[in-house]
Amino acid sequence: MADGADRTGGEATGDRRARKRRQTRRRLLDAARTRLAEVGLDALAVADITARADVGTGTFYNYFTGLDDTVAALIEEEVEALGRRIDALTATMADPAEVIAVSLRHLMSTAASDPVWGGFIVRLGIAHPSLVAALGPRASRDMQRGIDEGRFDIPNLPMAEEVAFGSVLSAIHAHQRSPVPDRDPTVDLAAYNLRLLGLTPAEAAEVCARPLPALPAAPERAV
Amino acid sequence: MADGADRTGGEATGDRRARKRRQTRRRLLDAARTRLAEVGLDALAVADITARADVGTGTFYNYFTGLDDTVAALIEEEVEALGRRIDALTATMADPAEVIAVSLRHLMSTAASDPVWGGFIVRLGIAHPSLVAALGPRASRDMQRGIDEGRFDIPNLPMAEEVAFGSVLSAIHAHQRSPVPDRDPTVDLAAYNLRLLGLTPAEAAEVCARPLPALPAAPERAV
């Protein structure tokens, strides 16, 4: 008999099972996120996550191969969710330079203030595929628009994307380690990146001095 | 009796022991470097290193706590050695922008062509202390000179250093993964960084179009 598709209510049972699986996975991810905020990445343990999610150890391993896997799933989800909120905020902006500046400022600001982002992004590093997959296409789209509209001067677009990407991670790391007094790191990071894209220092400073609009609220997580 | 300092030639014995220790460590590091070039980081094994260096496993652990430790020592040595060669090449250059461009071009070029650098630098990532320790003070010195001579416009020097650092690692990673045809990645990376430091795109392109002087030869390794 095919999974959850018989004549005695099996389809409903299948739906229920799938929903229950999603809920359990969600509970494990939420527990992992909470524990991360409490104890940090180095002290994170499967036992803490399962205790908080109120499931057995075996259940955990039905969903994840281990801690690294859990953390990767969490990051993928978080990066994508932030990407969508930034997309919503910048979609109607008239100036491609402001799109880049606002995106980078919120990316850095979130990473500097959020335990999941802040704890991981530097350790994950530049080669982590979930970061690249979520951020790469957005950077590419936003930079291409600036080229098309004559606002940017970018001889090698893939490298410009990579340089921007590396600069964000490195700036977050630097800010975590030793913040520079009296400087808004999000402004400095964005301004350096606009220079990189071809704006003069004065043009870059002007764009980054504009007020930073707030991100739309994070949506409730789908279960 | 104090180590190697008695009246019957113990000092000479101590010297000899110290020299022998340095030689063994050198042999292990050279073996690790060679194996890395042959099999890559993921397949590197202590047994291969000790076989190549012709020492026992116990001897290996007299010098290193494990593979990570060996690799860290190798990187520290390599980064510092390259830093000194770049220093020698750029010490007499008249233009601070050219110092930055030549340094970044050789850094990226070495990483793109050398098995130790190329295999590791991306994995080590932006937070690795031996990279930061070797490259940070040099970047700081070279950028400060450009500020002092009015060539650079850098509102937040520590962040400029971090952005440059992150951009180098990310550019190497990008180039390893998917080189862009018909572009010299070292030129593009250097030009982006000069823009970041305040040069216009045209000024940056001019500096990076100058011929790249060759590095002085690597010195023989001290034993």
Q: Is the dihedral of CA A71, A139, A159, B175 positive or negative?
A: positive
pLDDT at A221: 62
pLDDT digits (tens, 9 = 90+) for B66-107: 988 898 888 878 888 889 999 999 999 999 999 999 999 999
Structure tokens at A120: 């991981």
**DSSP type of residue A126:** T
**A174 and B191: CB-CB below 8 Å?**
no
pLDDT averaged over every residue in chain A? 85
Q: List the single residue in B with minimal CA-CA distance to A185.
A: B159
Query: pLDDT class for B217, splitting at 50, 70, 90?
Result: confident
**A159 and B180: CB-CB below 8 Å?**
yes
Among A123, A159, A195, the residue with its CB nearest the CB of B171 is: A159
Total length of chain B: 223
Whether A127 shows a pLDDT value over 60: the answer reads no
Whether B144 shows a pLDDT value over 80: the answer reads yes
Among the ranges given (A176-185, B18-27, B124-133), the one the predictor scored with the smallest mean pLDDT? B124-133
How many other β-carbons are positioned within 10 Å of the β-carbon of residue B206? 14
What percentage of chain B reaches a pLDDT higher than 90? Answer: 50
Q: List the single residue in B with minimal CA-CA distance to A178.
A: B158
CA distance A4 to B146: 70
Which domains does chain A show, CATH number per domain?
10-64 (1.10.10.60), 71-209 (1.10.357.10)
Q: Give the A-side interface with B, CB within 8 Å.
A: 122-123, 125-127, 153, 155-156, 158-163, 165-171, 173-175, 178, 180, 183, 185, 188-189, 191-193, 195-196, 198, 200-201
Query: pLDDT class for A71, splitting at 50, 70, 90?
Result: confident
Closest-CA residue to A134 (of A77, A89, A78, A80):
A80
pLDDT at B11: 67
Whether B118 shows a pLDDT value over 80: the answer reads no
pLDDT at B177: 76
Residues 6+ apart with CB under 8 A from B47: B57
pLDDT at A154: 94
Cα end-to-end distance, chain A, whole Å: 27
pLDDT digits (tens, 9 = 90+) for A101-111: 999 999 989 88
Give phi and psi for B76, each to the nearest 5.
Answer: -55, -45
Q: Is the dihedral of CA B207, B210, B214, B216 positive or negative?
A: negative
Q: Is the dihedral of CA A209, A211, A214, A215 positive or negative?
A: negative
How many other β-carbons are positioned within 10 Å of the β-carbon of residue B176? 16
CA distance B128 to B29: 19
Contact status, residue A110 vs residue A86, Cβ threshold 8 Å: no
Whether A170 shows a pLDDT value over 90: the answer reads no
pLDDT at A96: 97
B46 vs A116, residue with greater confidence: B46
CA distance A163 to B165: 10
Contact status, residue A28 vs residue A64, Cβ threshold 8 Å: yes
**DSSP type of residue B55:** -
Contacts of residue B104 in chain A, CB cutoff 8 Å? Answer: none
CA distance A147 to A81: 26
Whether B166 shows a pLDDT value over 90: the answer reads no
pLDDT at A22: 92
Give phi and psi for B23, each to the nearest 5.
Answer: -65, -40
What percentage of chain A reaches a pLDDT higher than 70? Answer: 85
Whether B112 shows a pLDDT value over 60: the answer reads yes
Contacts of residue A185 in chain B, CB cutoff 8 Å? Answer: 156, 159
ipTM of the complex: 0.77
Q: Give the B-side interface with A, CB within 8 Å.
A: 122-123, 125-127, 153, 155-156, 158-163, 165-171, 173-175, 178, 180, 183, 185, 188-189, 191-193, 195-196, 198, 200-201
